[in-house]
Amino acid sequence: VTLPPRTTNPQVPPTLDFLGPGLFGPETGLGMPVCLLCVCISGSVYCDESDLTTIPPLPKKTTHFYARFNKITEVKPRTFSTRLKRIDLTGNQITSLAEDAFRSLPQLQDLLLVDNKIRALPELPATMRHIDLRNNRLQSAGMHREAFKEMKELQFLYLSDNHLRVLHLQNNNIQSLNQDTFCNSHDMNYVRKALEDIRLDGNPVDINQYAQAYVCLPRLPVGTPR
């Protein structure tokens, strides 16, 4: 008796969904999933020192994004997902931030843009807690008036080593000052001659309690002592 040959279904190799949401998607402009270029752990994406020139599309579940020490030059509109809570782009070559790059992120709390070439700060959401813009090229004309007024949870604001001459922050919700907000705590000989006019009046902060925050300034800020 001759038995007919047994038929077997061809094995289909497992595939990863690089286009959908999740750990391995979506694709970057290089044709590779961002989590093969970077390190993805839970909701955090780490792209430090990856020679990036642009910000890659991130998985939709990303809450923390780190792309420090790359070659990124700009942040375009609608770059980030609405779940982001922390963005750290320290040590890039950013010169341009789109006006709506961050304001539509309802959960954003921490924005670190240290050591870039930024001249203007766009509108930020009211959820901010930590803003660090040290060592950029911020100009007075590039700062929104009452930019921080609705930020009830703002705890840290660093603006030292920029090109600011006038900084009007009156009628906001600034409650304290850090010694690195305007000056350089690591260099007691540092003097900021260019920054001549700082307005802090109308904020719930007692400027007399934060003398170390403006020892490098040619003039004391206008504020509300208590």
Residue 189 has pLDDT above 50, yes or no: yes
At residue 31, does pLDDT exceed 50? no
Q: Is pLDDT larger for residue 172 or for residue 21?
A: 172
* CA 73 – CA 96 distance, rounded (Å): 7
Going from the C-alpha of 130 to that of each of 2, 7, 183, 224, the distances in angstroms are 78, 64, 17, 23
Q: What is the structure's pLDDT at 85?
A: 98
Residues carrying CATH 3.80.10.10, the chain: 39-164
- Sorting pLDDT into bands at 50, 70 and 90, what band is 22? very low
pTM: 0.74
Q: Which helix (H) or strand (E) holds 37?
A: helix 34-37
Whether 162 shows a pLDDT value over 50: the answer reads: yes
Give me the CATH code for the 39-164 domain, please.
3.80.10.10
